[in-house]
Copies of this chain bind each other. A is one copy, B any other.
C-alpha cells in the first residue's frame, strides 16, 4: 500500500469537519467542486486526497455526504473508542478533561494524574485526581490508549518513555518540547500553542509593515 503523505493526513480532519457540518444541515450529496468552494481548496486536491484511500464517489453524481463522512471517520479511526488519561491537571488539563466534544467522538477520559498534593484527591468530571506514581498500575489495569501531557516540559520526556514502555499507544503532548518515540511503538502528536500564537503575531506585524511601506 502506498505511503500517504503527512500533508494529506492533516487535511482529512478538515474534510471530516466540513462533511459533518453538511450532514447537520441535512445535505445528502455534494461534489468535489462544491466542497472546494466551501473550503477554499481546489477540487482536484480533494479528489486526489480521497483517492489515496479508495473510491468514495460516483461519476456524474458526486459524493454521498453521509457515506463520505463515515468513511473518513473510519480512516481516522473514529469508529473506535479510546481510553484516555490526562497527566497534569492544571488549567489546560482540566479544560481538556471537561471538553465534551472529545468524549462524544469516542475519546473517553478515564484517569487524571498530577504531582501537586493540592490537586490529588480532587474530583474533576467524576474522576479523582491521582498521584503520578499510580499511572503504571492504572495503565496496566485499565488499558490506556492515549495519554494527554499537560505538564511542565521538564517531566515530559521521562513520562513519555515510561508510557511507551507500559504499552500506551499515543501521546497528545502540550508541553513545549518535541517528544519523540524512543522505540517506535508509540505515536506522538506535539501541540505547540505558543508557536501558533507567535505565527499570529508575525502575521500582524507583517500586515502593518505592508501598510507603512
Binding site for B on A (CB under 8 A): 9-10, 12-14, 16-17, 39-40, 75-78, 80, 82, 90-92, 94-95, 98-99, 101-102, 105, 107, 145-146, 169-170, 172, 176, 178, 180, 185, 187-189, 191-205, 207-208
Contacts and interface: CB of A to CB of B under 8 A. Distances in A.
The interface residues of chain A, by DSSP majority, are classed as helix
B202 A77 contact: yes
Nearest to A73: B198
Task: Count the copies.
Answer: 2
A193 B191 contact: yes
Contacts of A189: 196-197, 199-200, 203
Contacts of A90: 95
Most central of A9, A10, A99, A201 by chain B CB within 10 Å: A201
A153 to B, nearest CB: 9
Contacts of A185: 207
A202 B170 contact: no
B91 A192 contact: no
A170 B77 contact: no
